[in-house]
Amino acid sequence: MTQNSTNQGPKIALFEPDIPQNTAAIIRTCSCLGAKLEIIEPCGFLFSDKRFKRVVMDYMYEKEISFYQSSKEFFESKKNQRIILMTTKASISYTKFKFNKNDTILFGRESAGVPENIHKIVKYKLKIPMKNNMRSLNIASSVAIILAESLKQNKLI
């Protein structure tokens, strides 16, 4: 794991991401908006994947990214920090929630979300309201929506 403890703002965490283009787009979003990115491995792709490289362009090294070898390592490092899980299974809208400056906002795997054991250990669960009969937004779009709201609420943009 690599970490930079100087970051004083929201952190975006990805649980075992499996689509390289989405992760690359999220890296760019975090880089441009000044958020730290945390990736819980294993990833479903290699960072040398041409699909990843095409989207991430030169943003990969502008922003420090923390890698956790497992969800156990991730949660142990967050013992005294607030984690918010974004999930379509939540009942509370992100618009009704007060984000704190140093929250870690966790997004599940594109293909499967997060396992039930993680749902059980995370206290705060939020959703992005959608029209009826819609399944989910693209994760990169979801990250941008939630990160912008957190930054706005905490007057960081």
Which tens digits make up the pLDDT trace of 26-67? 999 998 899 999 999 999 988 888 888 888 888 775 557 899
pLDDT over 80 at 93, yes or no: yes
Helix (H) or strand (E) holding 86: strand 83-86
pLDDT higher than threshold 50 for residue 3: no
- How far apart (Å, rounded) are the C-alpha atoms in residues 62 and 59? 5
Is pLDDT of 80 > 80?
A: yes
How far apart are the C-alpha atoms of 73 and 110, rounded to whole Å?
Answer: 21
pLDDT confidence of 2, banded at 50, 70, 90?
very low
Q: How far apart are CA 87 and CA 99, in angstroms?
A: 16
How far apart are the C-alpha atoms of 98 and 157, rounded to whole Å? 16
Average pLDDT over residues 77-95: 96
pLDDT of residue 60: 75
Q: Which two tokens stand for residue 35?
A: 């958020």
Q: How many CB atoms lie within 10 A of CB 6?
A: 7
Please, what are the domains in the chain? 11-153 (3.40.1280.10)
Q: How confident is the model over 9-22, as a mean pLDDT?
A: 95
DSSP one-letter code for 14? E
User: For 110-152, how does the pLDDT look when each residue is reduced to its tens digit (9 = 90+)?
Assistant: 989 999 999 999 999 999 999 988 888 999 999 999 999 999 9
